[in-house]
Amino acid sequence: MHRPSPLLSLLTLLTLLTAAPLPAIGYRPLPHLRPNSSDLRFGDSKKYEGSSEFVHLRYHMGPVLTGSITVHTIWYGQWQKSQKKIIREFIGSFSAVNAKHPSVAGWWDTVRLYTDQTGANISRTVRLGEQKNDRFYSHGKSLTRLSIQSVIKSAVTAKTKPLPINPSNGLYLLLTSDDVYVEDFCGQVCGFHYFTFPSIVGYTLPFAWVGNSAKLCPGICAYPFAVPEYMQGLKPLKSPNGDVGVDGMISVIGHEVAELATNPLVNAWYAGQDPVAPVEIADLCEGIYGTGGGGSYMGQLLNGKDGATYNMNGIRRRYLVQWLWNHVVSYCTGPNALDQ
């Protein structure tokens, strides 16, 4: 279950700001804060990672991203060129159909199974759009969920090289550096998605925030490349790109972009009766990265000759990305499944 806090006061504030009821906020909860649907066992079949007869992911008639998707990125704080390159190449890998199997593009194929009310599938094409640097922390080093929207406003209204306004097929990805704290970061969330309010930004734009946890909480948001202090004796896995914070961000970015594509205005694909706390296609597979995954086990992963752990290939790099819920067969799937 999603448990944003303090929810009631936030709902009240947002309602006053927008003069409209608040639908839902797509927070990414930490794995240890809520039960994983995969704790249920369904025999010995490897096809049932995360499967449950009690999961009812339904379409609520809202729009999904069927046109070519453009991800506009805001780099908030101090970022190294090498860090930006890892993330840019990950986003560019969504449509890289010639990447080595198992691929990020194969992972995106699960997202493409979702359709709108006309039967049109989510777009195969995901490209990196314009980028905006906010290296001087225009809104400080401690952000609230609402001030995040102000950062986006600054990016789309900047006097020089503003980000383009694309409400229909644009996604706005705010990435904060490892010295920036965001409300509820590390304690409840590693990233979240929602849409901007016209009363703040001037437009309704689907967006996501993901933070670099390298300094604040790598054992929580960069797991398994770092481990929490309470897990004494457990050694972290080697990250595939040599940057624990950024490699930890990759799966969170994938999580949020997949949910933005299938539920951009929080009224399309989700499970549960309460749209204020939707369970979306990535939430259902939290913590599952390979065949057999569930509970505290991540599943069968791949090990490179250099000792790094990953589960899929991008254009030129390797990544560890969580699986997604396949509503056609009602279980979590990924390109590295052993039974495909």
Render pLDDT for 227-247 as a digit per residue (tens, 0 to 9): 998 888 899 999 999 999 999
Instruction: Tell me the pLDDT of the chain averaged across its residues.
Output: 86
Residue 20 has pLDDT above 80, yes or no: no
Residue 202 has pLDDT above 80, yes or no: yes
CA proximity to 104, closest of 331, 336, 260: 336
- With cut-offs at 50, 70 and 90, classify the pLDDT of residue 48: very low
Mean pLDDT of 182-196: 95
| CA pair distance 320, 17, nearest whole angstrom | 38
Residue 28 has pLDDT above 60, yes or no: no
Where would I find the H helices in 172-224? 218-221
Q: What is the pLDDT of residue 54?
A: 61
Where would I find the H helices in the chain? 7-18, 81-92, 104-111, 145-156, 218-221, 244-262
Mean pLDDT of 210-223: 97
Name the helix (H) or strand (E) containing 325: strand 324-326
Residue 83 has pLDDT above 60, yes or no: yes
Q: What is the pLDDT of residue 198?
A: 97
CA proximity to 255, closest of 284, 214, 228: 284
Q: Are 104 and 313 in contact (CB under 8 A)?
A: yes
CA proximity to 303, closest of 240, 260, 253: 240
pLDDT digits (tens, 9 = 90+) for 96-131: 989 999 999 999 999 999 999 999 999 999 999 999
Q: What is the pLDDT of residue 51?
A: 52
Q: How many helices (H) and strands (E) does the chain have?
A: 6, 16
| CA pair distance 123, 113, nearest whole angstrom | 10
- With cut-offs at 50, 70 and 90, classify the pLDDT of residue 339: confident
